[in-house]
Each structure stands twice: as C-alpha cells, then as structure tokens.
Structure 1
C-alpha cells in the first residue's frame, strides 16, 4: 500500500448493533454528531454495522484509534484505499510538467543535452489531501537554462496546480512558498489539542542539490502552520490567475471550505 493511501477508521459495535452507551460515546467523540438529537443518531447508527470516524492518512489512524478508545469506542482501521481519494504521484507530475523525472538534475522531455536545455535545480510539492474529496498538488520547479552543457545563469520558476488529469502551469518571478519554508522552525513545541478527525492533510516534499525531505501535518492550529497554509493557498490562486484558468476553481473553493481561516487576508 502506498504511504499516501487513504484509509477508513470505523467504530465497530460490540454486539453488532450500536448500544445506547456506544451512541453516547460516539457523540462525545464526533462534534458533528454531538450537535444532533440523541434519538436521531441512535436510529441512524442502529441501522449500520459500524460508523466511519475518519478517512485519513495511515500514520494518523493510530491517533484516531487512541482517541476513540478514550471515548469508549472500539475503532478498526480498514486497510482499503478509498476510491477517488488517492494521491497524485511524482511520475504523473513529471508528465504534466514535461520533465524526464521530478528530480534534481532532470530536464524537459526530449531536450536534455540539446541547445537551450533546462536542468532542475530544486523543486517542492505539497499534496493537499481532503478527507472526502480528491487530492490535488501545489508546487514549483526551479530550472536553470543551459546551452551546450554550460549554465546561462538564468533560472526560471514554474509554479503549478495539478491533479492526476492535468495541471495549470505559470512562470513566476518569485516563489513565496520557498521563502516562507526557509523561515520555519519544524521543531517548535506546541501544546496538545483535540484535533479534528476530518479536514485537510498536507504532505510537503522538497529536493535541491543540498537537501531533500518530507514532512506532514493536518488541520493545524498553530499560527506558524496556519500562515504556511495561507501562503500555499495564495500561491495556488496566483497560479490560477496567471494561467488565466478556472480548471481548479472547485479545488480552491473546496480548500477554503475546509479551512476558512486561510482565506482571511
């Protein structure tokens, strides 16, 4: 199974049918259920063998199960990919960008070693992973133009929004995400809080001639990560505006719907 495969975490009823106590536990666990009348929830859950607690990254499933156990529920991880919610892989992104590979040192398809060829100096991508919508990716590649193997000291930045079917691509003067990422302290210690089980997950990848890495976060509350979300959202809107395209308008609306704070300027 891919490390980005989405899995379902479900509450499994002890007697095959939800009891009154389990419904009370479910209401303590899920805010959207807690706000509904008890009789309505009881009638609904007794008609199904289990209840979906979350659709999340496998690494988050253990945390979800621990929280469910504290609430008095039995949680089961269903190791089954959810149709339509899978990730966009680097191989797909390379095709969208007309690169031989999404890697440092690669170039445009059919142009490596030719006059005017490009060479990737650095790249980053952020996979945006909503709980109940298809994933998309925001990213950028920094490419150096070369001629006869010699650098022309000219670097082009291409930003993009992409899904598995295609991409909007725009040439940019600056890369605000790279600049912001360079100021982050990923080892900040923050207090524990009751995280939302549904929402948005993020997978950040980067590579350059000196370093490469990956980190993940979801539904952030800390100011520094919320600010990173805002920068990412602003970057994505910049791509759409520069490309003069509404291809990813639904994704941008979806993004703002999940995380209203990032749309506040």
Structure 2
C-alpha cells in the first residue's frame, strides 16, 4: 500500500498572537514542523506544541529559518555561513529541550520560508544548514524539495533525507515552487488541493502552473498551517487519501 506523511507548520505565533490552530492540526497530521523562535514561536508556544504533539504521537520537527520575526521568515537575507550554521543548531537545540520534557525528541529538521527556497539552489547556504543540523545531531533526517542542493549536500554528509511536496503551492515546469509573489502561487480551492494531494501521493506527479505534468516523488506532504480553514482542509485531504488507498503515517 502507498503511504505518505502529512506535515504542517505549527507554533507560528508569539506572545499573545497565535496564527495556527495547533490543537486542531495535531489531530490530523503525522509530523509537526514547530517554529523555533526565529520566524515565529517563543518558549511557551514551543513547549505547548511539543506537549500536545507528544500526547498525540505526532513527530516533532524543528522548522528553522532566518532570524526574521517581522517578515515571518519570508524575506531574502544574506547570512554568513558560519553564523547561519550556528543559528540553525541553536534553533534545533532550543526545541529539543521542550521535546524531551514532553517525553519525545526532535525527529527531523525542515527549513522555513525564504531559507527553504534559498537552499534549493544556493550551495553555500545549503551547506551551512547541513552543518547546523550536524552540529545538533548527525542522525537527524531533513525535509526538502526533491532535487535540491540542500538534500544532495545532506545526503553527502550522511544525513537521512526526506523528499517533500506541497499540495497547496503551484509548481514550475522544473519542479520548483512558484514564488509567492507571483499570481497563482498559492492554491486556495479546497477540491483542487485535495485532488493534488492524492495525485502526489499515488502518482508522484502534479500539474505545473503552465499545465505540464511534473514528477514530484515525495515521502511527505506539507499542508500550511496558516491557510484559512487549515484544519478542515487537512481533514479532507487525509480523508480522501485514506479512501483512495493511501496509508497516512509518519516517515520516522
């Protein structure tokens, strides 16, 4: 039977401000990408999400990013490699404290936003993220875009790699994500997102923005937690996957 992991970005708030319905999403997904304080999140939020995830048996992942609270980690930044590596390790370490306190552990690492897109092609920044993960734990799996420099360098460094796809994001003909500033980059139609989810899980393919069939072999499927109606969408995606014969389970 075909199987796939469902991951979502959680803990994306700080102080009195909350963006994601963490409790609702944790009843659906199998892996939680927890913001580690650089693009969103704070100590209280990280601890709360780790506790909820551990109670539900959901894998805890460190969602690392550029230090950019004001821009939600979606602004391009140039960070020296040594500094970026240290900051990636710092974020993982902070989340690990709360994961262990909840009786779990950080099970994987996923870059966020501008950093995620940057390491698809940028050798230097990708290498810095890999170094940061290895500083924290040389056994940690990393999530990333199939064919990215990040996953290639991670594999070369001995880190387990997990390919990821996005049902609610448009793809280019080359299999990369259409930039968010471009029309059609984010897919908001529920039925279309559900249909694309099943296609990605069963066929390893998706239709690009120009109408081309693009192969995207992925072990994990991301659903954005900051999408309006994210919990209901996630439930529909999981329900349709399972009714289509796809087993939904964590990759680790």
TM range (shorter): under 0.3
TM-score, normalization by structure 2 = 0.26
TM-score, normalization by structure 1 = 0.25
Task: Please identify which structure carries the higher helix content.
Answer: 2
Which gives a bigger RCO, structure 1 or 2 (Cα 8 Å, sep 6+)? Answer: 2
- Pick the structure with greater CA Rg: 1
